Amino acid sequence: MLERGQELSANLVLVRRLGAGSSGEVWLVEDRERGGLRAVKILSATLAQDVATCAALRDEYARVAALGHPNVLRIDGLYRSARHAWIAMDYAAGGDLTQLRGRACGEILRVAIPVASALAAAHAAGLVHRDVKPANVLLSAEGVPLLADFGGHTTGSPFSASPQQLAGAPASIADDMYGFGALLYELLSGYPPFYPDAAAARDVEQEPAPPPAHVPATMAQMLAKLLARRAEDRPADMRSVERELRAALASLPPPAMMSSMNEPVADKPASVRIEPPGLRPPPGQGEPLRSEWQRNTGPRVTEEELRRQGFRRGLGASLVALGIAAVAIVFFVLPKWVARDQPVAKQPAAAVVAPKAEEKAAAEKKEIDFAALAKAKQAAEEVRAIIDERLQKLNERAASEWGGEEYTRINSLLAAADTDFTAREYTLAEEKLNEIVPLLDVVEERAPQVLAEQLKEGAKALQEGRSEDAKAAFTLALKIEPNNQVASRGLKRSGTLDQVLALLTTAERQEKEGNATEAADNFRKALSLDAEATRATEGLARISSRQAADAFASSMARGYSALAATNYSQAREAFEAARRIRPDAPEIAQALRQIEQEQRTGVINVKLQQAQQFESQEKWAEALKEYRSVLELDSTVAAANDGVARTAPRATLNEQLELYLTQPERLFSQSVRAVAKETLARAAGIANPGPILSRQVKTLGEWLARADVPVPVALRSDNITQVTIYRVGALGAFEQRSLELVPGSYTVVGTRPGYRDVRREISVMPGAAPEPVVIRCEDKI
C-alpha cells in the first residue's frame, strides 16, 4: 500500500497521489537529488512482474524521450526497486484538457494544434500513441499542452479508441487520428462520441452524433473525417490535420474585446464649445438680409474646411465694414463737402441744426443694427449646424423612442428657435439653440444606460418566453448600437424562440414519460436552433445523469457478480467501467480494494504451498524466496515468518556445503579445511536430515578424510641449490629427498649464489604421489 511520505527510492519521496488507473497509480514526488517536484507512474504489480511488457515500455519510453518535442511530456525512463517499478516524468501542474470542455472553438483550437504537432512528430519517429484523449494531454504551469501517457500495449479508452483498436487490430496511425478526433469532439461538445453507449462505439456501422450547432462547418467536416468508422477514410497523416486546424483557427472571427453590456462609455463633453462666428458679406449690394433658413443636413464640415470658412468669413466681415463706411461717407460726409460748395440758405439756426442732428443719429443707429444683425445671424447658424449634426446621429439611433423629456424639450426649443430666426430675432434664436446643447449631452449620455436596459429586458423576455417583447427590446438595442453582438444574438434567438419552446415542452413531457432517447433528440434540436437554451442544456444533463446512474449501477452489479465468482479480471473491468462514469464514487475504491485483498489472499496461499513443497524437496533457497515474497504482500502472515526463520539457516548451510563439494580443491588449504570441518559438524547435527543433506554430509566427510592423509613427494636437486618449501620449511642442499605432504598446493623455491632463483608450484592430490619435483639453479646471473 503506497502512502504519503513513503520512500520510493533513495532520492524519491511520495508527496500525494495524483490519480490511478488499471495500469498503476500516478504520484507527485519530491526529488531529493535534483530538488523540486516530479511525477511518477508506479506500475501495478501485474505489469511490474511482466518482464516482456516492462522491456517494451522501457524501449517505447526511450523513443518518446528521444523525440524532444516541446509538446511531449518529458520522460526519464523506467526504473525498478525491490518492490516497485515506475516511470519518472516531469510534473505538469496545470491539470489536463478535460477542464476545457465546452470552451470557445478558438480556445480549443489553440491547444489542439500543438497536440497535433506532437502526434505528427511521434508518427514520423514510428510511434503510435494508442490512447489520445483529453485526460492524456496535460498542461504545464504556463498552460503549454503536453502529450503524455503513450499507450504501450493498451487497447485505449472505450470512447476514444477506434473501432479497429477496440476489436484488437494492430495499432496504427489511423487509431491516433480517430483518438484526436474524439478529443476535439469531447472538448467541443462536452462528452466523447457515443457516450455512454460503449457498444455503439465498437459498432463500425454506427455514426457519432453531429457536433453542437455552434461548431463551425469546417470543424464539423474535419471531425467527420477524423471519426470515420473505416480507417482508410481518415486523414493519412497528422501534418495535414495540423494545417487544416491552423486554417480553421485563422478563419474564425476575432473575439469581441468586451461584452457590449459591460462596454465602457466614452466621456462626452458637458457642452459644445462654439467658436465666435465671423460675418459674411451680403449676397448682393444693397440686398436686404433674408430671414428664411434651412436645417443643415449636408456632410459634416472638417476642421480644415472650418478654418477656410473662418478666413473667408473674416474677409467678408472686413468687406461689410468697408461697405458700411462707404455708406456713411455717401450719406454723411459727401453732403457736407457738397454743402461747402453751395450757397447757404438763410434759415433759422435752430431749424437748420435740429434736422441734421436727427439725421446723423438715425444713420448711426442704422449702421449699428446692421452689423449686430449680421453677426447674430451668423452665430445662430454656427450653433444650429452643430446641433443638426448631433441630432441627426441621435435620430439614427432612434432617440425618439428613448430620449425622454430632454429629447422632447430639444425639439420644442428647436421649433421656437426656428420661429425667432424667421422673425430675424437671431439673438433670441441663438439663446434657445444654446439651451439645446446640454440637453443633447444628457440624451447622448443616456444611450448606454438605455442599451443595457433593453439588453436586460430582452434577456428577461427570452427567459420568460415572450418572443415579441424580446424582438422589440433587441431591435431597439441594435438601433442604439448596430454592431452589438449580444443584441444580434438575442434577436436571432427571439426569432426561433417559439419553435424552441415547443420542442422543449415536448422533450420535457417525453422525459417524464420515460422516453429518454426521444426527449434527448428534441433537446438537441432545441439547442441546434438556440445554443443558449438553458432548459435544453439542463434537460440533456438530466438525461445524461440518469443514464449514467443506470450505467453505473449496472457496472457495479456486474462487478460484484464477477467478484463472487472469483473472476477478478471481469470484476476489475466492470468496476473500472463504473469509475469512468463516476470517477469519485467511494464504493469503487472499496470494491477494488476487496479485489486486491482477495487476490492477495489467493496469491499468499499459492506461495505458501509452493514454499512448503520446496522445503520438502530440500530446495531451501527457493523456499526462502517464496516465504519472503509472501511477507512483501503481507508482513503479518505467521506461516511466512516461521518459514523464513526455518529455511534461512538451511539455505545458508546448503550453499556452504555445495561450495565445498563443487570446489573440493579448496579443502587442500588448512584454514579452509578447519572451517569445512565446522560446517560438516553443524550439518551432521541436524535431526532427520533429508536425502540431499545426508549425501552432502557423507561426501564432504570423505573429502576431508582424504585431505588429511599425507602423500609422499620426491624432490631432486644438485646438492648445491638450497631448497625451501613455503609453509613446510628449509630443506637445504641435497641430490634426492622424499617427504610426506598433506594434500594441497605448495611452492618450492631454490636459491644459489650467482644464479637466478628457481620456483616450482606443485599440487598434492589425495591418494596418489605426484611426479618427482626437480629443483636446480642453473641460470647464471
Summarised one tens digit per residue, pLDDT across range 523-559 is 999 999 998 888 899 999 998 888 888 898 999 999 9
C-alpha cell at 314: 473674416
Look at residue 641 in the predicted model and tell me its pLDDT: 94
Whether the bond between 196 and the residue before it is cis, its omega within 30 degrees of 0, is yes
Mean pLDDT, the chain, integer: 82
pLDDT tens column, 729-768: 999 999 999 999 888 888 999 999 999 999 999 888 887 7
User: pLDDT: is 367 or 299 the higher one?
Assistant: 367
**Nearest to residue 221, comparing CAs of 179, 185, 195?**
185
pLDDT at res. 781: 85
Query: Per residue in 164-196, pLDDT tens?
Result: 999 888 999 999 999 999 999 999 998 899 888
Q: Regarding predicted confidence, which is higher, 295 or 502?
A: 502
Work out the percent of the chain whose per-residue pLDDT is above 90.
44
Total H helices, total E strands in the chain: 24, 14
pLDDT value at 284 more than 80: no
Higher-confidence residue of 509 and 276: namely: 509
- pLDDT band per the 50, 70, 90 thresholds, residue 310: very low
Contact call for residues 320 and 289 (beta carbons, < 8 A): no
Q: Would you place residue 420 in the very low, low, confident or very high pLDDT band (cuts 50, 70, 90)?
A: confident
Q: 238-251 and 173-189 helices cross at what angle (nearest 10)? A: 20
pLDDT of residue 20: 81
How far apart CA 87 and CA 65 sit, in angstroms, is 12
Say if pTM beats, i.e. exceeds, 0.75: no
Rounded Cα distance between 178 and 201, Å, is 12
* Nearest one of 441, 381, 361 to 409, comparing CA atoms: 441
Please, are residues 433 and 380 in contact by the beta-carbon 8 Å criterion?
A: yes
**So what's the pLDDT on residue 225?**
95
**If DSSP codes are grouped into helix, strand and coil, which group holds residue 761?**
strand
With contact defined as beta carbons under 8 Å apart, do 680 and 700 qualify?
Answer: yes
Q: Find the range with the poorest average confidence among 294-303, 661-670, 685-694.
A: 294-303
Q: Which residue has the higher pLDDT, 273 or 674?
A: 674
pLDDT at 151 (0 to 100): 65
pLDDT tens-digit profile of 56-93? 888 878 888 888 899 999 988 888 887 899 999 999 98
213-233 core/surface letters (b: 16 or more CB in 10 A; e: else): eebbeebeebbeebbbbebee
**DSSP of 336-354, one letter per residue?**
HHHHHHSPPP---HHHHHH
Residue 369's pLDDT band (boundaries 50, 70, 90)? low
Residue where the block lists cell 565445498: 660
Phi/psi at 13 (nearest 5 deg)? Answer: -125, 130
Q: What is the pLDDT of residues 422-471, one digit of tens each?
A: 888 888 988 999 999 999 999 999 999 999 999 999 999 988 889 899 99
How many CB atoms sit inside 10 A of residue 122's CB?
22
pLDDT of residue 727: 85
pLDDT of residue 331: 41
pLDDT of residue 155: 67
Q: What would the mean pLDDT of 103-123 be, rounded to a whole number?
A: 94
Cβ burial of 209 (10 Å; 0-12, 13-18, 19+) is middle
In tens, the pLDDT along 258-279 reads 333 333 333 333 333 333 333 3
The CA-atom distances, in angstroms, between 181 and each of 131, 184, 224, 295, 370 are: 12, 5, 8, 64, 85
Sorted by where each starts, the structural domains of the chain and their CATH numbers stand as 12-89 (3.30.200.20), 97-251 (1.10.510.10), 303-341+352-445 (no CATH), 455-539 (1.25.40), 595-708 (1.25.40), 711-774 (no CATH)
- Determine if residue 619 is labeled as part of a ligand binding site: no
pLDDT digits (tens, 9 = 90+) for 215-253: 898 999 999 999 999 999 999 999 999 999 999 998 887
